Amino acid sequence: MTRRNRPALPKWRKVVSKKHRQQQAYKHDRVDPVILKASTREIIESIIKQTEIDGINLAAKVQDPHFRFMSSYKDEQEVSLQLSEAFATVSKLIKTRDMTVAVEKSVEKRVESADEFAKRIYTVVESMKTEAELVTNISVIDLLNERGIPTFKDAKWHTSTYNNMRKRWKKLGLLPDTPK
């Protein structure tokens, strides 16, 4: 179907809000720069000294990866826009690094919690094995489920979850390594 043959979009589809256009621009890093009545040197000094230009605190604004600025001086517009792009790139890198650090900390906490749970459940399983004279993994799994003792993720025990727990016990040094 050619462009001419396509039916016209309904009016409600053509109307796009200003907010939507801004979100799309941010999404694709096509942001209209704020034009400042200052030279590039004045802009840099304003950022360093954390002062305002045209009522804008540039030191705070350049931390937003979607903020762009440009000097109103014709011969400095390109340089000031490149400087703005550089600030945006650095800001994105910092945000990405901060997210990576946050994710790593979250993973560390989860692993710590899982290790603590493994240590607690090990003592429970060992006492159950002794008390009920259990030998097989299936019998341990059945007894754990009968007694309503949940897994780390608050679910029922299955062969795979029990085997994964045994691997964790070995990693923690609670079970001796068995030769294959």
Per-residue pLDDT tens for 129-142?
A: 999 998 899 999 99
Mean pLDDT in residue range 76-87: 89
- Asked whether the predicted pLDDT for residue 26 surpasses 70, the reply is no
Q: What are the residues facing 69 on neighbouring strands?
A: 34
pTM of this structure: 0.53
CA distance 36 to 102: 36
Measured CA distances, 157 to 15, 43, 137, 145, 166 (Å)? 54, 63, 11, 6, 13
Mean pLDDT in residue range 65-94: 88
DSSP, collapsed to helix, strand or coil, labels residue 53 as: strand
pLDDT at 32: 79
pLDDT at 136: 93
pLDDT at 33: 87
CA distance 161 to 141: 9
Mean pLDDT in residue range 94-106: 90
Consecutive H or E run containing 56: strand 56-57
Q: Give the single-character DSSP code of 133.
A: T
Of the given ranges (30-39, 76-85, 107-116, 163-172), which has the lowest mean pLDDT? 30-39
